[in-house]
Structure 1
Amino acid sequence: MKGVLYRDVHESQWNQLLQLQANVRDYVGVIGLTVVVDEAEGYAYLRSRPDLEDEDGPAIPRLIPRRALSFHVSLLLALLRKKLIEFDASGGDTKLVLTREQIVEMMRVFLPEGSNEVRLVDQIDSHIGKVVELGFLRRIKDTDGHYEVRRIIKAFVDGQWLAEFDQRLAEYAVELRGDDHEET
């Protein structure tokens, strides 16, 4: 009940879940959860049932906490999701593997330039660590700085999330330009 169940990591539990899917849905439904199974991508997770929330908030206490993400972590998630879209469009392998350097270069474009390159890379490393902790990236063992982008990112960073994030980025850019170019 904690975290994501992956077909390639938890093979026996995955097979049990598929066999007992209806029973699991009934069981977790009693406590206000629903099980999401994506057989094509090979993952499953629990989510709070949205139909149990009313306009004043959740009708029952949330068992799965919501996490507020920092701007930089949200940015990294959006960049990784877009990279996964490009990767899937090109066909080929099923696992997107990025190096630490590739991730740093993706993020560098969006961060202010400074004189301290080491500090900037350290900050990006901390953002990568948070995304690993959230389960959207996985460090590949026996490699130096290689990460697999986990497909679960598709369930959480969907088109609506990306559109909302793009809107917030545009508002942020207007706000920054407004401070620099106020001439009225």
Structure 2
Amino acid sequence: MESTPRALYAHIIIKLLQGPIYSDEKNLWRDLMAWQSPVWEHFAKFGIELSIHETDGFARIIQPEAEENEENPLPRLMRKQTMTYEATLLCVILREILEEFDVVMEGSKLFLTQKEIKERIELFYKDQTNKSKLWKDLSKPINNLVNIGILKLSREDITNRDNNQYEVKRIIKALVTNDKLEEIKTKLQNHVNTVQQ
């Protein structure tokens, strides 16, 4: 059996199946820009969209939701991930910090230390008396967001993890749109109101 020649853009397809491509991955980004039409066509055959955000410097693939009356819906390629209350809260906080940052430093990368992240999120836990336990617990949602690619560890300090530095990846703007941000904030507020009653 004759072997099928490999597509020149195969590495881009594989990388997108693994996760987003960022503009700081210079060679991959250049290749994506050069081959975006055949890459788009390749994914379109499977009902998947190639989404390129040049301004924010990332590209990803999206599988649209199946229509309610669709006869043969496609199986999900990408699983939906449910996040804890704390991870969702952290997403909202990071999204708002990025908005504030972009007003002053548009187009630059946003870096935050673990301590800075914790200081922002602890404002929502005013009733906590054991601060060391709170800060230890807040490491979990930070790690959660690292695992799903919203945060990227850029500098590690093994002697004091609070000095660990993270880049807030701009994909958070696609994952948490302005509409979604307002919806999540409303749900979080309702959750807080219920807990306080």
> TM (normalized to structure 2)?
0.82
| Residue aligning to 1:156 | 175
Q: Encode CA deviations 1:11-41: one digit per residue, 9 max, x unaligned.
A: 1111111111111111011122111111121
| Residue aligning to 2:6 | none
Unaligned runs of 5+ residues in structure 1 are 180-184
Q: Which amino acid aligns with 1:4?
A: P
**Equivalent of 1:3, from 4, 19, 28?**
19
Q: Which amino acid aligns with 1:155?
A: A
Distance 1:115-1:56 versus aligned 2 partners, 3 A rule: farther
CA RMSD of aligned residues (A): 1.9
| Residue aligning to 1:182 | none
| Residue aligning to 1:170 | 189
- Identity value in percent: 27
Q: Encode CA deviations 1:145-171: one digit per residue, 9 max, x unaligned.
A: 111111111111111111111211232
Q: How many residues align?
A: 175
Q: Encode CA deviations 1:56-96: one digit per residue, 9 max, x unaligned.
A: 68811010111111111010000000000000112367011
In the alignment, the residues of structure 1 paired with residue 140 and residue 118 of structure 2 have an alpha-carbon distance, to the nearest angstrom, of 11
Displacement of 1:109 in angstroms is: 1.0
Q: Which amino acid aligns with 2:67?
A: D
Give runs of aligned pairs for residues 60-139 of structure 1, distance below 5 A.
Answer: 60-91=74-105, 94-111=108-125, 113-139=127-153
In the alignment, the residues of structure 2 paired with residue 79 and residue 168 of structure 1 have an alpha-carbon distance, to the nearest angstrom, of 14
Distance 1:87-1:170 versus aligned 2 partners, 3 A rule: same
In the alignment, the residues of structure 1 paired with residue 132 and residue 192 of structure 2 have an alpha-carbon distance, to the nearest angstrom, of 26
> TM (normalized to structure 1)?
0.87
- Contact 2:156–2:164 (Cα < 8 Å) also in 1: no
| Residue aligning to 2:36 | 21
Helix, strand or coil at the partner of 1:69: coil
Matched, 1:54 2:85: no
